[in-house]
Structure 1
Amino acid sequence: MSSKRDQKDDPTIIKVNKWDGSAVKNALDDVVRKILIKKYNYIEDFTLMNGRLAQCGVAVIVALIALIWDYLHPFPASRPVLLVCVIVYFIFMGLLTLYITYKEKGIFVVAIQRDPAGFDPDLILEASSYLKKYDDKYNLVLNVKNEVTGVVNETSVTKSVANFIDVNGVLIPELVEAVVSKMHDSLSSQRKDK
């Protein structure tokens, strides 16, 4: 009985609702990100996510302008400003949807590996994943781009989430690490072969 209590109190144990696909995907994505950053000493680059946050920030500011303007000048007088704010807000939400669909493409981490000696160019690693609704297949894609040459090496794997989560819904990071390490080593050997 005390082992169950210890399991609940241990912050290193990641327990997810194994029937909630988005929760499982997010937990697996977090573990992959931690492995890439901590084990391989990549530097996380937040530029892609900052683009999304900037667009959301502008949309929130437009909504706040509409709210404040309507408070200072009640409805009949604020109608033109509200109309402009609503149109601008929907334009930004449309741009955000396009950005997420075509720019982010499911990428959950962008990491940079710098050469310690400073001779080789930086390598940019992107990790993306998807898990279809009502499906147990977790698809992970890692690609590395050489910043100077533009050469992209890619590897992917599709595995059942049951390979990473036990019957109690506890995610086992060591199993994820084994897959990510194999993929990373494959990318490293591809770069050396070229």
Structure 2
Amino acid sequence: MAPKEKDDKPVKINKWDGAAVKNALDDAVKEVLTGKFHYVENFALIDGRLVICGIAVGVAMFALVWDYLYPFPQSRPVLIFSVTTYFIMMGVLTFYTAYKEKGIFAVCIQKDNSKKENVWEASSYLPKYDDKYSLSLVFIDGKTKQRRETSIKKSVASYIDVNGGVVPELVEADVTKMHNSLLTERKEK
């Protein structure tokens, strides 16, 4: 398999679309963590969401097949169970995204020679109809399980040029500063 070629074109977005701006900035932060620092992305958080959704869809598909094989009067108890289970799984998914994910868009593992691996989590928040992008970077020490966090809140105009392109150098500068501040805290203790 050929190595993935990196496209050096700047990312163009509609700078008035808040969701697109947030996603583009999140991708730029993720690129700094995986590209510059060479951390390995961990998809366990996303896999948890996929498992919950997979169970819900599996239950719905089972109900569909059961109702096809045994039409409505016979399939009533199975349909009631399936609908109830589906809505319970949607509630579980809501709690999972609100309390477990908490806006985390990247979980990266810092590989080193020790058995314990350090974990970096990046999360962000961009309120609707606002230009203040909040970025939080969390460092979890693999040996002590100590958790340190730093955050920054800046206008999206700090990272996006007039044409709607994300300026990766500006994102990289802030992420690097946050990253290094968490590492120096580690060395001081």
The residue identity in structure 1 corresponding to 2:76 is R
**Does residue 149 of the first structure (1) align with residue 144 of the second (2)?**
yes
Corresponding residue for 1:123? 118
Pick one of 128, 132, 136 that aligns with 2:131.
136
**Pairwise CA distance, 1:177:** 0.8
TM-score w.r.t. the length of structure 2 is 0.92
**Distance in 2, Cα, partners of 1:164 & 1:192:** 30
Aligned length: 183
Aligned equivalent of 1:159? 154
Instruction: Look up the match of 1:60.
Output: 57
TM-score by length of structure 1 reads 0.90
* Seq. identity, %: 58
Deviates more, 1:68-77 or 1:41-50: 68-77
What displacement does 1:11 show?
Answer: 6.5
For residues 56-81 of structure 1, the C-alpha deviation after alignment (integer angstroms, 9 at most, x for no partner) is: 11011011111111222222322221
Please say if 1:81 is aligned against 2:81. Answer: no
Match for residue 44 of structure 1? 41
Deviation for aligned residue 1:50: 0.7
CA distance in 2, matches of 1:162, 1:125: 26
The Cα offsets for residues 126-175 of structure 1, whole Å up to 9 and x where unpaired, read as 10001011110000000101122121111100010011111221111111
Cα distance in 2 between the residues matched to 1:106 and 1:149: 25
Matched, 1:169 2:174: no
Across the aligned residues of Structure 1 and Structure 2, the Cα RMSD in angstroms comes to 1.4
SS across alignment from 2:139: strand
1:111 aligns with 2:122: no
Structure 1 unaligned blocks of 5 or more = 1-9
Q: 2:178 aligns with which of 171, 180, 183?
A: 183
In 2: Cα distance, 1:77 partner to 1:13 partner: 59
* Large movers: runs of 4+ above 3 Å: none
Q: Which runs of 5+ in 2 are unaligned?
A: 1-6
